Amino acid sequence: MSDTGEGTQRAVVKTHDGPARPGSDDDSARPDSGADGPGSPPRPVRPTDSQRRWLRRGLDQPGGKLPLFDENGRRVDSRVVRACLAQGWAEPWFANPLKPDWLVCKLTEAGRAVVSTAGRPAS
């Protein structure tokens, strides 16, 4: 690392075919070995284990209602809920007048699809 003189540091990266360049460290400058090439379709996003557990619980509920609490009675982490909303796997169902900060959600068709295919080996 080199000091810029203003109390901040910048990483210097050596490229394989030229001089060092400021900006990022060597590992982050290289694409990972599994990266898709240019023009390739993006890889589908898969739910994490926590997201998958929460989404699966909506499969058995009327209208696909997703629970506010997990199997142990603890509130489902809002990061799990918001990540599933952002991916389109869940959608807000209605506003909870007693607890406006709690998101009452239901499973979407995309959520049903990702849960039904998650964990299966690729063909």
Residue 29 lies inside a defined structural domain of this protein: no
Contact 9, 2 (CB under 8 A): yes
Q: 18-56 pLDDT, tens per residue?
A: 444 444 344 333 333 345 567 767 777 899 999 999 999
Task: Find the CATH number of the domain harbouring 100.
Answer: 1.10.10
Is the Cβ–Cβ distance between 99 and 119 less than 8 Å?
no
- Does residue 60 belong to any structural domain of this protein? yes
Show the domain range for 94: 49-117
Residue 48 near residue 59 (C-beta atoms within 8 A): no
Residue 122 belongs to some domain of the structure: no
SS3 content of the chain, % helix, strand, coil (to 5): 30, 20, 55
Tally of domains in the chain: 1
pTM more than 0.75: no
